[in-house]
Amino acid sequence: MISKQRQESEEKPLDEQLELLQEKIAELIVTNEATENQLTNLTFESNDVISYLKKLVEEKDEETARVEEMLDEQMKESDRKFKIHRENYELEEKKLKEEIEKLKSEMSIMAIEQARADLSNVVLKLIEEVFDETNGYMQTYIQVVFLRIQSYLELYLTAMADFLVVEMAFCRVMAFYTTNRSNTDNSSRMLKVVLIMFLFVKTPQALLVIFNSLFLLDYYLLIAPLSTEFLKALDAANASASFIIYCVISSHFREVFVRIFVPGGIQRRIYSARTMQVTTVESTRKAAWS
């Protein structure tokens, strides 16, 4: 009896332990299920976060693409405006160059007209000297011949000066297409000075011609004796000053003058002497630096 009771008392705690173990296993199962549920929820949440991030990235990509497209459009628009501005600038520059060339051509035409006026004036003076009556004056044969020679020389020299002016004007027009701008500027200044002097000389003559046409008797009685020598002095000053200005300022005029009036042999000698001088200077310089 005692051994059976002891055995029952020993078996009873084992049952309780089994029950406890079963309860713990059940709790672990419940806990495991809860953990699995939490993991499932976390997985769903992480998937939501990933999809949200993907959506943000896609939106950012779309916004970036839109910004890039806007930048491309702005660049194209700026390029188009730049091309338009450049074309307008080129057109304005072309118009300005055409106006400058037109003004320079007008200056050359004015110089040619001045030469033509000078030539006409000299021809009229020559006609006046040739057909003037000399029998009413006490002049010797030498004086008459000298006056004729003087008139012909005046005609020849003025014609040569006019020819030089015309050729210099054409040289100046051709110089527009070269890169040496200093000679062109010098020619422009020279032509301006000569034209101003021409106007200064010809304006009194024009006024006297107008006065002569209106008041013929008063002109020959009062003004002609005083103005004749003055006008001759103005013509001489104009011719001499113009020639000096041409020679000093314009290198084209000097070249044309030498080509026309200096014989070819003397020109070759001058050129050879100048070449020899330049060669001597260069050799001396090299010897000094060596």
Listed by start position, the domains of the chain span 21-74, 103-279
Give me Rg for the CA atoms of the chain: 55
pLDDT, tens digit, 9 for 90 and up, residues 47-98: 777 777 778 778 777 788 888 888 888 888 888 888 888 888 888 888 877 7
**Model confidence at 27: pLDDT above 70:** yes
pLDDT, tens digit, 9 for 90 and up, residues 173-207: 555 555 455 555 555 666 666 667 777 777 777 77
In three-state secondary structure terms, 98 is helix
Average pLDDT, the chain: 68
Say what the pLDDT of residue 165 is: 61
Q: Say if residues 160 and 260 touch (Cβ distance below 8 Å).
A: yes
Quote the percentage of the chain above a pLDDT of 90: 0
Q: Say if residues 186 and 250 touch (Cβ distance below 8 Å).
A: yes
Maximum separation of any 2 CA atoms in the chain, in Å = 201
* Phi, psi (rounded to 5 degrees) for 138: -85, 85
In terms of average pLDDT, the best of 39-43, 144-148, 246-250 is 39-43
Bigger pLDDT: 122 vs 57 = 57
Bigger pLDDT: 124 vs 200 = 200
Say what the pLDDT of residue 31 is: 78
Counting other chains too, the contacts that 94-100 makes at CB distance below 8 Å and 24 or more residues apart are none
**Model confidence at 117: pLDDT above 60:** yes
With bands split at pLDDT 50, 70 and 90, how would you rate the model's confidence at 209?
confident
Say what the pLDDT of residue 115 is: 63
